[in-house]
């Protein structure tokens, strides 16, 4: 039995999906990608990261992407930030939501954002305060919550401890991310149970990668555990420049197919999302990882 009747999907393709692409994806194509997602009914879209363009060249046009996007009161344009400087850029560019990441392992936090996890917690609390003052919705992700490419197993108690400290910044929600795609559903159930016990009133979001083909199973476990918001990327594109062998996010259209056939509402148009997956495949000039792009939906829609 699924207790959740509605799931909100955060489209992360334009940021997490594209950040690892070796060839620069033109600004105009990014803008079209985001517009297509909005047209399909997605209402929270991670549009760019405000990080050092020398380290993540694909995101060097973050300001230009934001400048080209129409502002709608019902759409949250999310900017990923990793420090105060990134937040100031995202705020100036007009993001109405920011996401900050704190990595559960210190080694990965150092590699990803150049400081200790401790420093990132302090940065987050400062950023959250600044965001609230500026009328920007802040949320935070505990990354590598299911395993670290450098340190190995991550203690769930460490994830909970970081989440409890991050909660002091009064985020819109706290996300747990399987950044490198090592988690399995029983881990999802366990970690979410621990987080609920520690933070009973905090909305939770989950971010899964399909590196080892457990992404959709993990999403199912999260929904069963009562999580009402999931990250996904159209076409299942993605990876992490600082995590060896990490591959794509769970594909938005595959997730939509599963949820809709389970009777869970998403308010997102599956056909339009699928068409965008196929468009993305053309733009990238190679196959995307998503399965629905290959198989199509079911039952087939009358022509």
CA atoms within 13 A on the CB side of 38: 19
Cα dist from 252 to 16, 77, 147, 223, 227, whole Å = 13, 17, 23, 15, 16
Question: Which residues, listed in sequence order, are joined to residue 79 by a DSSP beta bridge?
Answer: 48, 98
For Mg ion, give the closer residue by CB, 2 or 234: 234
Tokens of 162: 């970081």
Catalytic residue among 95, 148, 206, 240: 240
CB of 239 to Mg ion, least distance (A): 8
18 touches 288 (CB < 8 A): no
Residues 179-191, buried b or exposed e (16+ Cβ, 10 A)?
Answer: bbbbbebebbeeb
For Mg ion, the closer CB: 8 or 16:
16
Q: How far is the CB of 206 from Mg ion (least distance, A)?
A: 11
Residues that bind Mg ion (CB under 5 A): 16
State the angle between helix axes of 252-261 and 270-284 in degrees (0 to 180), rounded to the nearest 10: 160
The SS3 call for residue 264 is coil
- Is residue 240 part of the annotated active site? The answer reads yes
Q: How far is the CB of 40 from Mg ion (least distance, A)?
A: 21
**Closest separation between CB of residue 241 and Mg ion, Å?**
11
Complex with Mg ion: residue 16 or 254, whichever CB lies closer: 16
| Residue 283 CA: distances (Å) to CA of 42, 235, 279 | 20, 12, 6
Residue closer to Mg ion, measured from CB, 195 or 250? 250
Closer residue to Mg ion, CB minimum distance, 16 or 253: 16
According to DSSP, the β-strands at 76-81 and 97-103 are: parallel
Q: How far is the CB of 236 from Mg ion (least distance, A)?
A: 12
Q: Which residues have a catalytic role annotated? A: 240
């Amino acid at each position: 039995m699924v207790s959740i009747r509605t799931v909100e999907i955060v489209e992360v393709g334009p940021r997490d999906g594209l950040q690892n692409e070796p060839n620069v994806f033109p600004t105009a194509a990014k803008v079209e990608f985001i517009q297509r997602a909005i047209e399909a009914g997605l209402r929270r879209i991670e549009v760019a990261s405000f990080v050092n363009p020398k380290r993540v060249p694909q995101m060097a046009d973050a300001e230009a992407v934001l400048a080209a996007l129409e502002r709608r009161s019902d759409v949250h344009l999310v900017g990923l930030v990793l420090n105060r400087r990134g937040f100031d850029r995202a705020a100036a560019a007009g993001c109405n939501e920011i996401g900050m990441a704190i990595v559960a392992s210190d080694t990965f936090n150092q590699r990803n954002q150049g400081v200790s996890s401790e420093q990132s917690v302090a940065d987050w609390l400062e950023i959250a305060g600044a965001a609230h003052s500026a009328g920007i919705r802040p949320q935070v992700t505990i990354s590598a919550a299911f395993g670290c490419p450098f340190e190995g197993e991550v203690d769930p108690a460490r994830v909970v401890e970081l989440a409890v400290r991050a909660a002091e910044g009064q985020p819109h929600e706290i996300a747990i991310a399987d950044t490198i795609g090592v988690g399995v559903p029983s881990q999802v159930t366990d970690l979410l149970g621990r987080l609920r016990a520690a933070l009973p009133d905090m909305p939770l979001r989950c971010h899964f990668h399909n590196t080892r083909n457990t992404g959709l199973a993990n999403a199912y476990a999260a929904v069963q555990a009562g999580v009402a918001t999931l990250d996904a990327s159209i076409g299942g594109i993605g990876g992490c420049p600082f995590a060896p062998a990490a591959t794509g996010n769970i594909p938005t259209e595959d997730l939509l197919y599963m949820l809709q056939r389970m009777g869970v509402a998403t308010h997102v148009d599956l056909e339009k999302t699928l068409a965008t997956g196929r468009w993305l495949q053309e733009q990238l000039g190679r196959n995307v990882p998503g399965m629905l792009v290959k198989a199509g939906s079911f039952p087939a829609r009358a022509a």
